[in-house]
Amino acid sequence: MAEVVTQLQNAPHPKKVIAYIDIGEAEEYRVYWDESWSIGNPAWIVGDDPDGWVENYPVAFWAEAWQAIWLEDGGMLDQVGEAGFDGVYLDWVEAYSDENVVEAAQDEGVNPIYAMIEFVSFISENIKDECNHCVVIAQNAAELVEYAEYAATIDGLAQEQVWFDGGADNEPEGDCSLPRTDVDIDSDAYYDSLSPKCQRQFDEFPESTLHVSSEEYLFFLNIAKEKGIPVFTVDYALIPENIAWTYAISRERGFIPFVGNRALDKFIVPVP
């Protein structure tokens, strides 16, 4: 991995290379996974992914054993640093709002919002103590930028599916338009506008992003922008008109857009 990172950093068009890490879910295909683990064993694995991502399990992320995987000497963050990455890209920051995580937090007397802010702060300190140029980019949970201590901890905010999403199984690959406004959420007109595959996603996952509006995301992304935090939008679309529109509207708002398919296994040429 260190060789790959170095090649990208020293390419003719040099790149910052950021390590993706999921801090709110345990994933069976990661090197830390123990084959004996399952929901409830250890106790901090609290449920299944609410959007249908298999082999992904929300965790009580404040648990000492979970945080040790990342923060202890020789842990995952040390390995990220040793490989020469220029920072970390944190997924599932929104774990604090997962219903199973919230229930676990209530049982333990933990405020999950402040616990997540603290966890991200620990990660930021760990990375930057050894690498003063490294950055921390948080994905999703844009609403946390209202907390000054959180906004001061991150160097960038990425938000998925601001305008278009797809399915966890890549069916559909994208082009499921979110409700544009809060008024449109769960309305008959909105539902009728969806393709059959997008309607399946809507029906099967009542907590999915198709039940959230672009208006809500944009409210918080604008707060981040006003606080000087770079904002990256990550949308899922393959229809050329949707791709072009998303790049245009994101840039108009001062954001940095990316559009791909939901599995992120196809390169879709960006719109200039």
Confidence label for 208 from pLDDT (cuts 50, 70 and 90): confident
Q: How far is CA 105 from the centre of its chain?
A: 21
Q: What is the mean pLDDT of the chain?
A: 96
For residue 220, which of 236, 231, 206 has the smallest C-alpha distance?
231
Enumerate domains of the chain plus CATH numbers: 1-154 (3.20.20.70), 161-228+235-272 (no CATH)
The contacts of residue 81 (CB under 8 Å, 6+ apart) are 127, 130, 131, 134
How far is the C-alpha of 89 from the C-alpha of 124, rounded, in Å?
A: 11
Q: How far is CA 221 from the centre of its chain?
A: 14
Q: How do residues 209-245 score in pLDDT, each as one tens digit?
A: 999 999 999 999 999 999 999 999 999 999 999 999 9
Confidence label for 51 from pLDDT (cuts 50, 70 and 90): confident
Q: How do residues 111-146 score in pLDDT, each as one tens digit?
A: 999 999 999 999 999 999 989 999 999 999 999 999
The whole-model pTM stands at 0.94
pLDDT at 52: 85
Q: How do residues 14-37 score in pLDDT, each as one tens digit?
A: 999 999 999 999 999 999 999 999
